[in-house]
Amino acid sequence: MTFPTSGVDPQHLDASTDSPAAARGSLLDLVQKFNALRAFFNTFWLGLLATTSAATARTGLGATTVGSAVFTAASQSAARTAIGAINTGLGITQQWYIYASGYSINTNYINTSGAPIFVVVNCKFNAGSDGLIKVDEITCSKHFIPSVGVNDWAADLTAIVPNNSSFRIESNTGVLTLGYVAILK
CATH number at residue 180: 2.60.120.40
Say if 45 falls within a structural domain.
no
Domain total in the chain:
1
CB-based contact 55:42 (threshold 8 Å): no
> pLDDT digits over 133-163, tens only?
999 998 888 877 776 656 667 788 999 999 9
Q: Where are the alpha helices (DSSP H) in 53-106?
A: 54-60, 65-72, 76-82
Which domain range does residue 170 map to?
96-184
Say if 149 falls within a structural domain.
yes
Confidence category of residue 50, pLDDT binned at 50, 70, 90: confident
Say if 24 falls within a structural domain.
no
Model-level pTM greater than 0.75?
no
How far is 139 from 180, CA to CA, in rounded Å? 20
Strands (E), the chain: 96-99, 108-110, 117-125, 130-135, 138-144, 153-161, 166-170, 176-184
